[in-house]
Amino acid sequence: MDASNAPENRLRTMWREGRCALGVIATIPSIQTVQVLAGSGLDFILIDMEHGPIGPGEAHAMIAATAGTPLVPLVRVAALTDWHAKIPLDLGAFGVCFPMISTRADAQAAVRAVRYPPSGERAWGPFYAPMRWGVSMRCYQDRADDEVLAIATIEHVNVLETIDEIVAAPGLDLAFIGRGDLATSMGHHGRADHPAVESAAEKLETVIRASPVVLGGVAPTPEQANAMIARGYRALVVGFDWSLLQRGIAGALDGVKRDRA
């Protein structure tokens, strides 16, 4: 397959059409869970190598489990380094999400980590990525820089002073507002709904929405998702695998009487 026939990153297509991509953060190292998610109408999965018990082997299996489905595999890494990004990309991830992006230099480093030279600093070694993408090695190398997403998590109060510079970094594709860590950095641990946190998030939204960078966030309820889409969000995490599992179990048990009538 030549580069002109290579599949495009489906999320880029959705964003060009003005549509919002919906996804889940996966913390459970399970192929079977990914298969269920892939058949549930989601657009992307964010495999969590930052907070979840997921190593390279499990991440590879989870990425491979999305093949042949509409689910786009992204990976959240633990630190902003080239080698943290290198492994999931070589395993076939369509994008890497970096934590605590707080400066323009951070954003530029994130972009360089997912691009091959001369545009970036990604090392060569995509032995398994072409298999997941369903293309030849040559085709993958020709298209990877255009299709892979550089994703920043905006999650510290200091970003309020630097967000304009961050979203101006060439090549940055998506910025997730992480309200949990944002609240913690503001002294409101566990209070993402605190008025001061809400105000800070609104300021970040305004700047990101006015930039070429896609605005992303977390929407745990349909009502929140619809409101955020109306405000310009185009990538929303609707839950974690574990939280959705808990909610499903709670719903199944709701109203069930354990004692014999």
Dist. CA 87–CA 261, nearest whole Å: 56
Task: Name the token pair of 91.
Answer: 């395993």
Partnered with residue 239 across adjacent β-strands are none
Active site residue: 51, 60, 84, 189, which one? 51
**What is the amino acid identity at position 44?**
F
Report the DSSP beta bridge partners of residue 22. Answer: 236
Question: Alpha-carbon dihedral of residues 155, 149, 69, 220, nearest 10 degrees?
Answer: 20
What's the token pair of residue 99?
């934590």
CA distances for 227 relative to 4, 167, 218, angstroms: 38, 23, 12
* Catalytic site includes residue 156: no
Q: Which residues are catalytic?
A: 51
